[in-house]
Structure 1
Amino acid sequence: MAARLEPGRPAPDFTLPDATGRPVSLAEHHGRRTIVYFYPRASTPGCTTQACDFRDSLARFTAEGFAVLGVSPDAPEALARFAEEQSLDFPLLSDPDHAVAEAWGAWGEKKNYGKTYEGLIRSTVVVGPDGTVELAQYNVRATGHVAKLRRDLGLQP
């Protein structure tokens, strides 16, 4: 498992396909604050809750100068279905080999019902306009995460 990102360090650049297959890079978001959140699997209850919370807060985040990117190991086709079913209007990116998740410290050992395995760790990283990490949160809860993130960023709930 790669080391977790820390504030003040450069965020690793990436280019991943979105739900339509179009390549999206972190570099194209430089100049504005970007929330990159990692979630295990599209269309599961927790990931749906989290994605819909970001969707419902997107207008406020955008007005406050943020972009939002969701990253999962799902194929673009699964992301397209998820985005359509949930009316998600921000990019969902496909990281099937979890190379980006590893580079960002969002892939590693997990425990569930007494079993230990490797998987995606639900995580959120806020990248500043200059490409450095402002905030990195790992093992976040799906429910209530967006409200907590807003508080941690000093934004109105």
Structure 2
Amino acid sequence: MTERVILEAGQAAPDFSLQDQDGVIRSLSDFRDQRVIVFFYPEAMTPGCTKEACDFQESTAPLAAAGYRVLGISRDNVEKLRRFADRDELQYPLLSDPDLKVHNAYGAFGTKNSYGRIIEGVIRSTFVIGADGVIEHALYNVKATGHVARVRTLVGA
């Protein structure tokens, strides 16, 4: 097992190119000159992930008004992400990272405590990235409920 990366504010955000729920390749560099919120979640259509994704959807207008775009990343395949987006009316890109390369680059996969068991899995994490591609906030081990409100406070939305 390799050492888990932990990113911090002030570091350059690792670039990536992943398919979204419509099969479109999205790269972080496509959003250069825009501020971006990237959140990693364990699995589409599960209760906690649905709560978090819907909270981000409900916050897209105030986040956009504050200059932020939202991107969600999971290891789910494109078809499952399409069903998730359709079911919950999610209007922002959901990106598929089945081989976990981007999860690992951001330190969003590793050993975690899940209901008292130590397992390997996705670590719910959110990154606020400035228009220059530099991380402004790196939030690891966040809770699905209440997290988006915290992010909105951090970014003044």
Identity between Structure 1 and Structure 2 (%): 52
Q: What amino acid is the match of 2:58? A: D
Which residue is 1:109 aligned to? 111
Secondary structure of the equivalent of 2:49? helix
Per the normalisation by structure 1, the TM-score is 0.96
Under a length normalisation based on structure 2, what TM-score does the superposition of the two structures give? 0.96
Q: CA RMSD in A?
A: 0.9
Other structure's SS at 2:33 match: coil
How many aligned residue pairs are there? Answer: 155
- Deviating above 4 A after TM superposition, structure 1's stretches of 4 or more consecutive aligned residues are none
- Unpaired segments of 5 or more residues in structure 1? none
Aligned residue number for residue 137 of structure 1: 139
Task: For 1:44 and 1:134, locate their aligned partners in 2 and report how far apart those are by CA, in whole Å.
Answer: 29
- Write the distance in 2 (CA, Å) between the matches of 1:122 and 1:98: 13
Task: State how far apart, in whole Å, the 1-side matches of 2:28 and 2:115 are.
Answer: 35
Structure 2 CA distance for partners of 1:59 and 1:74, relative to 1, 3 Å: same
Instruction: Indicate whether 1:21 and 2:5 are aligned.
Output: no
Distance in 2 (CA, whole Å) between partners of 1:114 and 1:40 is: 17
* Match among 5, 8, 26 for residue 7 of structure 2: 5
> 2:59 aligns to what SS in structure 1?
helix
Match of 2:38 in 1: 36
Shift of 1:111: 1.8
Q: Deviation digits for residues 12-49 of structure 1, max 9, x if unmatched?
A: 00000001111100000010110000000000000000
1:107 CA displacement: 0.6
Whole-Å separation in 2 of the counterparts to 1:28 and 1:73: 21
Structure 1 segment 64-143 matched on structure 2, within 5 A: 64-143=66-145
Secondary structure, counterpart of 2:6 in structure 1: coil
Residue 38 of structure 2 aligns to a residue whose secondary structure is strand
Partner of 1:62: 64
